[in-house]
Amino acid sequence: ETRVYVRKHVDFPRTPSANDNQYCNLMMQRRRMASRGNCKTINTFVHTAPGNLIPVCTNQPDRALRTTGQRFPVTVCKLISSKPNCTYRGNRYNHRVQVGCLGGRPVHLTHATSLTYK
């Protein structure tokens, strides 16, 4: 499950692209989340080494949702059209990341936010 999480949500170092929209169109296809007729609506890529997200899940119960104290560079890709191909708009942020934990490791990214969670 960690491998799937990394494939869907971690891109470090960030894949070079001309702009954020092109980045999203490329990465959503490359990571198998956008194919004709099957377009994921929204996805966040975190631009840090996968190991940097593990501490947030250390000693946490399974299925716990935890938010990082540290902000990470992220790109949020939102679907703007699904015909004829999946087309995305990308935006970059520095956000905290909320992950779902299993076995002490992140296995799901719920969202990224600029808000502080207590």
Angle at alpha carbon of residue 21, lines to 14 and 17, rounded to 5°: 40
What is the spatial distance between Cα 71 and Cα 69, in angstroms, rounded to a whole number?
7
What is the spatial distance between Cα 8 and Cα 114, in angstroms, rounded to a whole number?
21
Catalytic residues: 9, 108
